[in-house]
Amino acid sequence: PLCDIDVLSEIEPENETALGSTNEQAGSPSTPQQPQKAAERHDSQPEEAHQPPEISKAPSTKGQSSLATPAVRGLLKDLKIDISNVTGTGKDGRVLKEDVQKHANADAPKSTPSPTSTPSPSNSKSTQTESMIPLTPIQSQMFKTMTRSLSIPHFLYTDELNVTALSSLRHHVNTQLSSANQPKLSYLPFIIKALTLALDSYPILNARVDTDTDTSRPQLVMRSAHNVGIAMDTPQGLIVPNIKNVNTLSIVDIASQIQRLQSLALASKLTPTDLTGGTITVSNIGSIGGTYVAPILVSSEVAILGMGKKRIVPAFDEEGKVVKREVMNLSWSADHRVVDGATVARCAEVVRGFVERPEGMVVRLR
């Protein structure tokens, strides 16, 4: 059988002596008479010497194997590790390189962190805590209102409008208002006025659904006054006061009412009259940011309009030339139980006409 040559240096002393004597009498290994002389030598030895010398393991106080390759022994020497202290995991208990490295790592001194060392991540992680916070009055009302809205199937519709002409008109109007020390106009009062003019042609979007009367089927309640709700972001939360009889107001009057409601909302002085009686709502989410919105209806209305932010985009004119264009997206939601999509689309087209050609809206002002 093949033997590791390094293992020969670990033969028991008495076996090494026997081998030494045998080699002296046998002479060179290539001598043909070696087997015969070796036999004669063994005949003169005690009975124990007749046993063939075995390659044995180095004595170990821990009973571990000492079989190893020269490379592993070199590593043991470099690390100053006694092979008898290493547990071999190879075949027949052979000590492998991995065994030496594992033994060396196990014997490495454990470094103790200094008092000023950074705590481990596991210790620095805080435990998750939860606390109960009651809803504010506005949040409680919003919770009830939006929960009721879940029973309404919403029809969503959005479109992009060219507001370049409206932007130019607004700029000229604001120049005149500024010279008269009056507040400037935003896009919101123009959109509200365009909406109320369109409601004259599509009054169903200003109605409400009545399911509380003692009848066999729900009914639509048509309303003549356009009380337009304005969604407002306040420190207390979302509130929706409304402007009464917008269909009888001018654009400047609408802007004045918006400013009044905003001032009252910031001071928390809105009255119940300001917060009730709305017939349709406009949400100007674009004043904060965002292009599209899916506004949510309240149960007392069948339509709501959301305004996106104004953007400048490249576009083609009628001659195919690239021009700068100002656009805005308007997003609608309607109660699909009583309002079909075609009605919403047609009403949205009327609003588009007034917004993209604001001179038509100015002519119809009351």
- As a whole number of angstroms, the distance between CA 166 and CA 251 comes to 13
- Which pLDDT does position 336 carry in this prediction? 97
- As a whole number of angstroms, the distance between CA 79 and CA 54 comes to 29
Query: First vs last Cα of the chain: how many Å apart?
Result: 115
Torsion sign, CA atoms 342, 287, 228, 166: negative
Task: Inform me whether the pLDDT recorded for 332 exceeds 50.
Answer: yes
- Which pLDDT does position 133 carry in this prediction? 94
How does the average pLDDT of the chain come out, rounded?
A: 82
Q: Among residues of the chain, what percentage have pLDDT more than 70?
A: 76
pLDDT digits (tens, 9 = 90+) for 191-223: 999 999 999 999 999 999 998 776 678 899 999
CB 86 within 8 A of CB 75: no
Q: What is the mean pLDDT of residues 294-304?
A: 95
Cβ within 8 Å of residue 314, ≥6 positions away? 322, 323, 324, 325
- As a whole number of angstroms, the distance between CA 339 and CA 350 comes to 17
Of 285, 292, 317, 286, nearest in space to 160 by CA: 292
pLDDT digits (tens, 9 = 90+) for 110-125: 555 555 555 555 555 7
pTM of the model: 0.65
Q: Point out the residues that are catalytic.
A: 336, 340
- Which pLDDT does position 79 carry in this prediction? 83
Task: Inform me whether the pLDDT recorded for 152 exceeds 90.
Answer: yes
**Cα angle value 155/156/162 (rounded, 5°):** 140
